[in-house]
Amino acid sequence: MQFVMDRPLWTPTIQAEFDVIPQIASSALSETALTELAATFYISEDVLFDRIERMLADRDVVTLGQLTERFQIEQGLAELVSYVALASKTPPHRVLGDQYEVITVRVDDEILRDYTVPLVEFRRNDA
């Protein structure tokens, strides 16, 4: 037979102790991570270069944000990453790793996703 008073009223909780403190993940993608991701899917560089050239027809410099406003991203993050990879390997275009911009990509008809990427500048060869 057990009585209610036979059990302890309270037991102290055990405190967890950790040797490593977790770090907050950054939402910004590095140039290296973006380049590796670009190699995962086939994106036509010719189509991307054509879009860049059309934007540069009437201006000297255009950012990736401006480019994606005019030509909507059709193949998701892989296409976005391909633009960054092109800029990093094709002079006079450049990736400014110390500045970032937010690019909004339509994933489905109703879903928009924001990506923080390094600021990418596409430049004319004569600029």
> Tens digits of per-residue pLDDT, 48-69?
999 999 999 999 999 999 999 9
Segment 101-123 mean pLDDT: 88
DSSP-assigned letter for residue 101: E
pLDDT at residue 78, as a whole number:
84
pLDDT at residue 69, as a whole number:
94
Q: Residues 31-45: pLDDT tens digits?
A: 776 666 656 667 899
Segment 92-107 mean pLDDT: 91
Q: What element of type H or E holds 50?
A: helix 45-56
Residue 33 to residues 13, 51, 53, 81, 82, Cα–Cα distance (Å): 42, 24, 26, 9, 11
* pLDDT top residue among 22 and 73: 73
The answer to whether the predicted template modeling score (pTM) of the entire model surpasses 0.85 is no
Looking up tokens 């950790």 gives 18
